[in-house]
Amino acid sequence: MSALKNHSEQDQARVLDEFDGLAEIYPEDKYRIVKLLQSRGHMVGMTGDGVNDSPALKQAEVGIAVSNSTDVAKASASIVLTEPGLKVILSSIQTSREIYQRMLTWVINKITKVIQFVGILVLGFFWLHQIVLSLLGMVLLVFANDFVTMSLATDNVKTTKNPNIWNVKNITLASIVIGALLVIEGAVVLFIGNNYYRMELETLQTFVLLTLVFTSEFRVLVVREREHFWSSRPGRELSFASLGTVIGFALLGVYGVILPPVTIAQAFLALGFSALVTFAVDCPKYYAFRRFGL
């Protein structure tokens, strides 16, 4: 470490980035090393157990206090290990990255859902001069999405090799690509219901609701995977929630329990068309995720 002190701060950061290890480290050097690494754009993890480690533990993105640390070190750290050894660090990092992937899926799904929902309502209002989703339909749509949203907490996810960073701009742009394509799907559904089936407003609202519900279930299966949707299997809870919602709303739409009914053919058209379009969106989704670094 003493060899670095003869260089400028910029040179110290550059040289430090090339080192595999440092010797002759004093307590005040630890904080400086963390700062130098961060100046090079690194996300820094720091382990320690003593009072002299607390400034570096506080400065690092991930400060880790080992099990026998002092109270000051534990208060400064982001993670406090409860078992001896460092192996548990790998487990904590893996768990945190799994949580990030589930949260990212929730955010992307939320943004695309809002874009699709608002886009279809606006399109229907200016095109047909009608509200194409009833108030009851809006309530049922929120209710249908709740079970799938909650099941994302236990979904199967893949961890990344590199640290994760919340890039809200890129997440939003990638979600807009998916949402815009689903709005186009909604426009086709409105055209089919209004011009082909000549539906009354109440029946059209049921037809649109079924399409939105089915698309929501399939969309989650698409956006949960950063690669193509078939690259991993969804969690058991997510699969059951999606299947149950699809079956339940198909029966509601056909039998008209609390909604104006549609025919079986119309319900199957909404189901099949939603599946076809949503899974077709997987290809542009894949390239959008790669383009925006997701």
Query: Looking at residue 9, what is its pLDDT?
Result: 65
Q: Check if the beta carbon of residue 213 is closer than 8 Å to that of residue 249.
A: yes
Query: Looking at residue 259, what is its pLDDT?
Result: 84
At residue 211, does pLDDT exceed 70?
A: yes
What 8-state DSSP symbol labels residue 47?
E
Query: Looking at residue 40, what is its pLDDT?
Result: 78
At residue 5, does pLDDT exceed 70?
A: no
Q: Check if the beta carbon of residue 206 is closer than 8 Å to that of residue 261.
A: yes
- What pLDDT, in 10s, does the model give residues 53-70? 888 888 888 888 888 888
Mean per-residue pLDDT for 24-43? 80
Query: Looking at residue 108, what is its pLDDT?
Result: 92
Confidence at 176, pLDDT banded by 50, 70, 90? very high
φ/ψ of 16, rounded to 5, equals: -60, -35
- What pLDDT, in 10s, does the model give residues 145-171? 888 888 888 888 888 887 788 888 999
Give me the CATH code for the 94-291 domain, please. Answer: 1.20.1110.10
pTM of the entire structure?
0.82
Query: Looking at residue 107, what is its pLDDT?
Result: 92
Q: Give percent of the chain above pLDDT 90.
A: 16
Confidence at 3, pLDDT banded by 50, 70, 90? low
At residue 180, does pLDDT exceed 80?
A: yes
Query: Looking at residue 214, what is its pLDDT?
Result: 92
Mean per-residue pLDDT for 173-192? 91
d(CA 170, CA 274): 26
Give me the CATH code for the 4-85 domain, please. Answer: 3.40.50.1000
- What pLDDT, in 10s, does the model give residues 239-262? 898 899 899 999 988 888 888 888
At residue 228, does pLDDT exceed 80?
A: yes
Mean per-residue pLDDT for 12-41? 76
Query: Looking at residue 171, what is its pLDDT?
Result: 92
Buried b (16+ CB within 10 A) or exposed e, 5-20: eeeeeeebbeebeeee
Query: Looking at residue 285, what is its pLDDT?
Result: 92
Q: Which of 115, 114, 112 is nearest to 104 (CA)?
A: 112
d(CA 79, CA 266): 54
Locate the domains of the chain by residue range.
4-85, 94-291
- 282-291 helix and 168-191 helix, angle to the nearest 10 degrees: 160
What 8-state DSSP symbol labels residue 275?
H
